């Protein structure tokens, strides 16, 4: 049976490990060399002299100014191809505010994300073949969950348990957590290869 599958964007489709590592150095928030994961950058910046404010400033810049350093998670394109071959429809439903905190450039983050998708073939018929109308951004988690309900997604993939376990999340929608580690009530799928098997099984 063809399904409507909803997918989160930040840290589910788009991988920011390199972007955080690069931006944190470029902004002088961490020193030294060697690639860091997003979690390592967060730990270092929060415990450094710039603290929580530095971390929020960095996030505001990564999702805009440094977005070109983000990549598409390995295996996502294969998932899209397999899902489309089985007749499933896909939606990208993202919680993203228009502007980041502490961003001096006031970059439009939703426009930046759409541009980034365009550069990565999301809207090419021969690429990932999304219609721009199948991508939506919502300014709060409540609005995002409401969009999941309104769209009628039969499955939803997200990196954040708090989205999938939100009280407003529709009970009939199957929940797939894209994360290294899950919880008793919410198993995790650490790669898109694992997600593809589970979602399209």
- Determine which residue in the list 5, 6, 7, 10 makes contact with Mg ion, applying CB under 5 A: 10
Closest CB 34 distance from Mg ion, rounded Å = 25
- Determine which residue in the list 5, 8, 59, 151 makes contact with Mg ion, applying CB under 5 A: 8
Distance CA 180, CA 104 (A): 34
Closest CB 12 distance from Mg ion, rounded Å = 5
**Total residues at interface with Mg ion (CB under 5 A):** 5
Which stretches within the chain are classed as H helix?
Answer: 17-26, 38-47, 51-62, 76-85, 109-119, 141-151, 161-164, 192-199
State which residue, 11 or 56, has the beta carbon closest to Mg ion.
11
Closest CB 83 distance from Mg ion, rounded Å = 19
- Binding residues for Mg ion restricted to 154-193, rule: CB under 5 A: 159
State which residue, 11 or 82, has the beta carbon closest to Mg ion.
11
What SS3 state is found at 157?
strand
22-61 footprint of Mg ion as x/- string (CB under 5 A): ----------------------------------------
Distance CA 129, CA 113 (A): 16
Report if residue 11 touches Mg ion, rule: CB under 5 A.
yes
* CA 30 remoteness from chain centre: 24
Burial of 56 (0-12, 13-18, 19+ CB in 10 A): middle
Task: Compute CA distances 159 → 19, 138, 147, whole Å.
Answer: 18, 16, 17
Task: Give the footprint of Mg ion on this chain (CB under 5 A).
Answer: 8, 10-12, 159
């Amino acid at each position: 049976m063809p399904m409507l599958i909803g997918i989160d964007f930040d840290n589910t489709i788009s991988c920011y490990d390199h972007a955080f590592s690069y931006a944190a150095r470029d902004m002088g928030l961490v020193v030294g060399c060697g690639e860091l994961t997003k979690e390592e950058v967060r730990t270092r910046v929060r415990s450094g002299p710039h603290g929580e404010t530095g971390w929020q400033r960095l996030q505001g810049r990564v999702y805009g100014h440094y977005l070109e350093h983000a990549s598409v998670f390995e295996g996502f394109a294969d998932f899209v191809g397999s899902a489309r071959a089985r007749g499933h429809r896909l939606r990208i439903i993202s919680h993203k505010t228009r502007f980041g905190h502490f961003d001096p450039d006031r970059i439009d983050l939703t426009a930046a994300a759409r541009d980034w998708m365009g550069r990565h073939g999301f809207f090419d018929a021969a690429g990932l073949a999304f219609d721009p109308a199948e991508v939506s951004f919502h300014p709060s988690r409540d609005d995002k969950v409401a969009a999941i309900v309104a769209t009628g997604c039969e499955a939803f993939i997200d990196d954040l348990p708090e989205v999938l376990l939100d009280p407003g999340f529709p009970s009939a929608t199957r929940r797939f957590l894209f994360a290294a580690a899950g919880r008793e009530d919410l198993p995790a799928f650490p790669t898109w290869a694992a997600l593809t098997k589970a979602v399209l099984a």
